[in-house]
């Protein structure tokens, strides 16, 4: 999973009294602005103001959008049937934060989305300003661009130009992924939500290719999996370090040593096993802290469990989604045990 997708968490709108009203005014204005700019894809594909290549991709993705509802049992609504040409590279930016000696994210709770590990902004300057404010308080912070988002069906979400950054499979997969969030969404369990939606995207692409007599889609690369494992290993090393309760000066020094050692392990992996593939050089060269590690692992923690469930359900999408809903109704400890049983992993 490339880094632009790692940062692809939901940017959700929720209203409550737990954050400054100006934040909600910003989010509300950003959402309404997107809605106002929507153009039905049926019109966009004949709109000569839009590049021919973009129009062709929109035509193709609409076929995949219909397939999602007709064959994958995903919502049949107006989401992803319109288009917005953005004047920026990402639709939103997410701000992640942790305390200096913890890998656990600072969470923010909303009535619609539940508790999530970030704040989303439609303006990069505002996101960076919030990250700076938190950093001045002593937190570790990170800002990541988001190519796509879902409002869980509360609005008819458009395809935005930032979703076209990757290839056709990535675009189709993002649509499947975001529609899955509208099908099943569990408050306060990001790993469950993202793993389920990621499995739907992966399996949905396989079915889409098979239905159109196309070669099987390229699966997540070995390098992607290895890099995610490397980052998660760093996170667990830091978690263990912080649990020692040593003096802050010692923790701070050893924290930097662990990050330096991670960079050395990455360089060895890249040069010795990946033949110089430098896809992750920018991430590794940039400042690394607890917050920059937060997005990793959310998307694929339970994908093996959902794959096992799908196979057990005879590849029947309707039965599968119902069984996912049943899992979502379980108390959190029981749900984790069940997912671990399905995937063959150990629960936390």
Predicted confidence band of residue 15 (pLDDT cuts 50, 70, 90): very low
Beta carbons within 10 angstroms of residue 340's beta carbon: 15
Residue 44 token pair:
């966009």
In Å, how far are 197, 316, 326 from 330, measured between CA atoms?
Answer: 18, 22, 7
Mean pLDDT value across residues 186-190: 87
Annotate 133-180 with DSSP letters as a single string: HHHHTT-EEEEEEES----TTSS-PPEEGGGGSS-HHHHHHHHHHHHH
Portion of the chain with pLDDT greater than 70, in percent: 92
Mean pLDDT value across residues 197-207: 96
Q: Specify the pLDDT at position 113.
A: 65
Portion of the chain with pLDDT greater than 90, in percent: 74
In whole angstroms, give the CA distance from residue 14 to residue 268: 44
Region for 225 from its dihedrals, namely left if φ exceeds 0, alpha if ψ lies in -120 to 50, beta otherwise: alpha
On the question of pLDDT at 88 being above 50, the answer is yes
Does residue 186 contact residue 336 with C-beta atoms inside 8 Å? no
Does residue 27 contact residue 13 with C-beta atoms inside 8 Å? yes
Annotate 225-266 with DSSP letters as a single string: HHHHHHHHHHHHHHHHHHTT---HHHHHHHHHHHHHHHHHHH
Mean pLDDT value across residues 259-275: 94
Residue 142, beta-bridge partner list = 96
Does residue 95 contact residue 143 with C-beta atoms inside 8 Å? yes
Q: Specify the pLDDT at position 329.
A: 97
Residue 126 token pair:
């505002």
**Which residues, at least 6 apart from 325, have a Cβ–Cβ distance to it below 8 Å?**
184
Mean pLDDT value across residues 77-86: 96
Residue 109, beta-bridge partner list = 115
Q: Average pLDDT, whole number, for the chain?
A: 89
In whole angstroms, give the CA distance from residue 339 to residue 318: 19
**pLDDT of 129-183, one tens digit each?**
999 999 999 999 999 999 987 888 889 999 999 999 889 999 999 999 999 999 9
Of 73, 34, 75, 41, the closest CA to residue 55 belongs to 41
Q: What is the distance of C-alpha 337 from the center of its chain? A: 23
Note the pTM of the prediction, 2 decimals. Answer: 0.84
Mean pLDDT value across residues 209-226: 83
Q: Specify the pLDDT at position 279.
A: 85
């Amino acid at each position: 999973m490339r880094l632009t997708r790692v940062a692809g968490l939901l940017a959700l709108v929720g209203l409550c009294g737990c954050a400054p009203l100006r934040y909600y005014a910003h989010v509300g204005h950003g959402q309404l602005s997107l809605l106002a700019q929507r153009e039905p894809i049926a019109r966009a594909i004949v709109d000569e103001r839009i590049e021919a290549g973009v129009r062709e991709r929109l035509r193709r993705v609409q076929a995949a959008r219909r397939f999602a509802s007709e064959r994958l049992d995903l919502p049949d609504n107006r989401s992803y049937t319109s288009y917005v040409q953005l004047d920026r590279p990402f639709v939103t930016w997410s701000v992640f934060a942790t305390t200096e000696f913890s890998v656990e994210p600072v969470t923010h709770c909303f009535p619609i989305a539940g508790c999530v590990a970030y704040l989303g902004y439609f303006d990069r300057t505002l996101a960076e300003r919030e990250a700076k404010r938190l950093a001045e308080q002593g937190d570790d912070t990170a800002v990541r661009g988001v190519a796509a988002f879902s409002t869980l069906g509360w609005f008819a979400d458009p395809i935005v130009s930032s979703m076209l950054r990757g290839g056709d499979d990535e675009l189709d997969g993002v649509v499947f992924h975001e529609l899955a969030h509208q099908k099943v969404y569990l408050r306060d369990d990001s790993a469950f939500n993202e793993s389920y939606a990621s499995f739907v995207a992966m399996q949905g692409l396989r079915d889409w290719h098979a239905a159109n007599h196309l070669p099987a889609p390229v699966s997540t690369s070995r390098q992607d999996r290895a890099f995610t494992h490397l980052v998660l290993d760093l996170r667990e090393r830091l978690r263990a370090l912080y649990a020692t309760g040593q003096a802050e000066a010692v923790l701070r020094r050893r924290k930097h040593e662990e990050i330096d050692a991670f960079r050395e392990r990455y360089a060895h992996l890249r040069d010795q096993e990946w033949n110089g593939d430098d896809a992750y050089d920018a991430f590794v060269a940039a400042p690394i802290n607890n917050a920059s590690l937060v997005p990793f692992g959310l998307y694929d923690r339970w994908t093996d469990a959902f794959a096992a469930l799908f196979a057990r359900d005879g590849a029947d999408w309707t039965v599968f989604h119902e069984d996912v809903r049943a899992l979502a109704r379980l108390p959190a400890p029981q749900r984790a045990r069940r997912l671990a049983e399905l995937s063959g992993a150990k629960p936390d």
